[in-house]
Amino acid sequence: MQTFQQYIGGAFEDADTTFDSRDPATGAPWAKMPAASEADVDRAVTAAEAAFFSPDWAEMTATQRGKLLMRLADLVAENAPRLAELETRDTGKIIRETSAQIAYVAEYYRYYAGLADKIEGAHLPIDKPDMEVWLRREPVGVVAAIVPWNSQLFLSAVKIAPALAAGCTVVLKASEEAPAPMLEFARIFDQAGFPPGVLNVITGGPQAGAALTSHASVAHVAFTGGPETARHIVRNSAENLASTSLELGGKSPFIVFDDADLESAVNAQVSGIFAATGQSCVAGSRLVIQKGIKAEFLQRLKEKAEAVVIGMPQDMDTEVGPLCTLRQRDHAVRLIEASLQAGARLVTGGVVPEGQGYFFPPTVLDCSDAPTAPCLSNEFFGPVLSVVDFETEAEAVEIANNTAFGLASGVFTQNLTRAHRMIRKIRAGIVWVNTYRAVSPIAPFGGHGLSGHGREGGLQAVLDYTKLKAVWLRTSDDPIPDPFVMR
């Protein structure tokens, strides 16, 4: 059993209580994790607040902040193999994906390192001749960052990097499901040379999350997770009137027209729903397929799904590993059973394999004759694809937008004008055309509806961690003539 510590005020320490983290490939405990108490949360926020006002951080130039972030990026890249190993062990995500993703995470820190000294204010052409007025962008203060277990190093980078670039300080709460990578990241961060308290890393359950998001000294809450937890966070933030950015789930449509390159579309669909064992907020979990190509597409998809290599996540040949928790697997089984009862047809998969661990096979459900099947509206967070067919472009748009979510979408067509029409009409924060699951630190990421609000990645994200200050400077040497008149 390995033991991990929390990171508060630049020091590593044990918590009064711990919990076991389980290896999803075996179901057995493998590590002891600290469970932050309300007192631990308060100390972490207090440390972040002290660091925010400390001259060591508050008076540091933006260029110096950028250099520290660049140093952190280098350390993340150097330690990527260790971080990938831990994420695979703790979450069950295959090593092929964690290795590639964490190596790319360093690019997010590099991007925001470059933006740190490019956060600009503005001069206003004010309508008063004896005034100079300009705007300053200043950091909002202490940021509470809450991340789930899936892709946590990526999902924390898109919060930590812009927040620190803007001059904020951060308390990060890792998921209680699989926090090992974030607690190890704290050790890497500690080597980068930031002042103590600039980043604090804790973990724990709902009690810790509630204490953090309602803390009086927290100015902004950046959250990735599910809509129900987001509702609690919004209620908690009413205590401190903190601003929020919420990156939530999705039920993303993957739309394929009859003129699409079928091989590319099938491969993208396999990646969009079965990669990461379907445990992705942007998973293309609803295949919206034109009727004329449905049979051929599903046959190709079935063959590829049944050829997927399921195995231990540490094996480089494995393409689909276990789900992170037994609860997820049970949730998938229940939804599939309910969908079959509602008239869905099982194309492939759907049966829990024998043996240990939380494994679940790539599964495809044809719901074209079952419009009320719960699999069409509920997020599985697993390798389960729901299929609906259409005849016309208008029908495809209607099906795509028939969801309370609005995070991602994909469109496969060789018709350029049709692609532009679909881009305009689909209600989602991301539209991929003839590709899927592409990300970059340069591009914003986020949605609307039950998929949340705010954006992560890109220039706008760093501005979300700032507040505007208007500065008025009177340039006249004449006395103010009348103190009771606004100037």
User: What distance lies between CA 293 and its chain's CA centroid?
Assistant: 34
Q: Which of 168, 281, 367, 375 is flagged as catalytic? A: 281
Instruction: List the end-to-end C-alpha distance of the chain, in Å, as a whole number.
Output: 69
Q: Which of 247, 319, 379, 456 is flagged as catalytic? A: 247
Positive or negative, the CA dihedral 261, 262, 267, 271 is positive
208-217 burial, b at 16+ Cβ within 10 Å, e below that, comes to bbbbbbbbeb
* 367 is known as an active-site residue: no
* 247 is known as an active-site residue: yes
The token pair at 134 is 């300009």
Q: Which residues are catalytic?
A: 247, 281
